[in-house]
């Protein structure tokens, strides 16, 4: 009888440990995804700011970007897809919305909104 109780205890403890290992692996994978997404979004935001929010200049600065319309750029690297949408705001403000997605999902990992003021004399394509 004692042996059965000990066996039951160890099987229960091993079940709990396996569940903890699976959960920690999932959390680790999610953390890696978020870290990559934040870094990629920050890199693209710096490129957006350096190019004054001009998609054509961003294409020149980032050769791995692909144009997907007049105001949208795509970047597919590793297991992620980055989408940059450009829009014109008021009084020379250029808005950029950067979203990072995993290739196998339609739910974004991270989004970042960027704004750049471009004086009227430098605003192009309007």
pLDDT (0 to 100) of residue 121: 52
119, 91 Cβ separation under 8 angstroms: no
CA atoms within 13 A on the CB side of 29: 8
For residues 87 and 5, give the distance between their C-alpha atoms in angstroms, rounded to a whole number: 67
| pLDDT at position 126 over 80 | no
What percent of the chain has pLDDT above 70? 94
Chain segment 5-17, per-residue pLDDT in tens: 999 999 999 999 9
| pLDDT at position 123 over 60 | no
Instruction: Quote the number of domains for the chain.
Output: 1
116, 92 Cβ separation under 8 angstroms: no
Which residue range is the domain that position 117 belongs to?
2-122
pLDDT (0 to 100) of residue 92: 82
For the chain, the distance separating the N- and C-terminal CA atoms, rounded to the nearest angstrom, is 84
98, 53 Cβ separation under 8 angstroms: no
| pLDDT at position 88 over 90 | no
């Amino acid at each position: 009888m004692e042996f059965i109780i000990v066996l039951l205890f160890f099987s229960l403890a091993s079940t709990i440990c396996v569940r903890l290992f699976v959960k920690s692996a999932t959390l680790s994978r999610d953390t890696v995804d978020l870290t990559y997404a934040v870094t990629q979004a920050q890199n693209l935001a710096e490129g957006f700011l350096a190019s004054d929010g001009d998609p054509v200049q961003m294409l020149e600065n980032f050769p791995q970007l692909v144009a997907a319309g007049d105001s949208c750029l795509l970047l597919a690297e590793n297991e992620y897809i980055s989408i940059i949408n450009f829009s014109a705001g008021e009084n020379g403000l250029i808005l950029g919305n950067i979203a990072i997605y995993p290739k196998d999902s339609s739910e974004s990992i991270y989004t970042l909104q960027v704004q750049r003021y471009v004086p009227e004399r430098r605003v192009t394509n309007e």
